[in-house]
Amino acid sequence: MTFYRQDDGRHEIAAAYSERLVPWLFTHWADRLIDLARPGGSAEVIDLACGTGLITGALLARLDDGARVHSVDLDPAALAYASAAFSDDRVSWHEADASQLPCESSTADVVVCNQGLQFFPDRPAVSAEVLRVLRPGGRLALAVWGTLAANPWPAAMAAAIGDALGEEARRASGTLGLSKAPCCALKTCSTTKALMTF
């Protein structure tokens, strides 16, 4: 499956992100998120906003041969990088919007989303879609930066972006954190939720 043209430069960006930023910012949280998700050995799991495959790879290390992981992202270069890094028959890679998942209703035991929720433009639609694909009693595990006020690193990054590129860019970079509790759209959900903010 080819997600990008080799010569368009996006692969190099995905590789740099995965090899330089992911180990520094996210790798140490991967096992903690999966611990919260409790996928079980033969689970059907959706890795939402899978990026370059950090959580997919960590899931594969824990799941048995009967498990299935549906790894979903909008970025074709990230998917290409991930699918090359984690070539495994238990994984299917999907270029799709989080509000329109390519999965049947009530089929997923677990949905995990590592640092993606804050970037979804329509969080209520994504929440409804997650609820649609989860089986009764399924679990949603999220890792997301909290508010910028509570997270000095993303706040400093947003300020630096604003200094370099102007106020509009600073406001746009505010998506690094959430302005209110990320599970607000899931309050009426009967599904078990695990939430990790940092």
Q: What is the pLDDT of residues 118-154, one digit of tens each?
A: 888 899 999 999 999 999 999 999 988 777 777 777 7
Greater model confidence, 85 or 11: 85
Separation between Cα atoms, residue 186 and residue 165, nearest integer Å: 35
Task: For residue 132, give the CATH number of its domain.
Answer: 3.40.50.150
pLDDT tops 60 at residue 41: yes
Q: How many folded domains does the chain comprise?
A: 1
Write down the pTM of the prediction.
0.77
Residue at 34 is within a domain: yes
Identify the band that residue 111 occupies on the pLDDT scale cut at 50, 70 and 90: very high
> What residues make up the domain containing 79?
6-146+182-197
| pLDDT in the model for residue 23 | 59
Residue at 48 is within a domain: yes
Beta strand segments in the chain, E: 44-48, 68-73, 91-95, 108-114, 134-144, 192-197
Residue at 47 is within a domain: yes
Of 84-98, 99-113, 148-162, the one with minimum mean pLDDT is 148-162
Chain centroid to CA 104: 19
Residue at 79 is within a domain: yes
| pLDDT in the model for residue 27 | 62
Residue at 124 is within a domain: yes
Greater model confidence, 154 or 100: 100
State the greatest distance between any 2 C-alpha atoms of the chain, in Å, as a whole number. Answer: 50
Residue at 163 is within a domain: no
Residue at 176 is within a domain: no
Separation between Cα atoms, residue 22 and residue 135, nearest integer Å: 30
Separation between Cα atoms, residue 186 and residue 188, nearest integer Å: 6
Say which DSSP state 15 is in.
Answer: H
Separation between Cα atoms, residue 149 and residue 143, nearest integer Å: 17
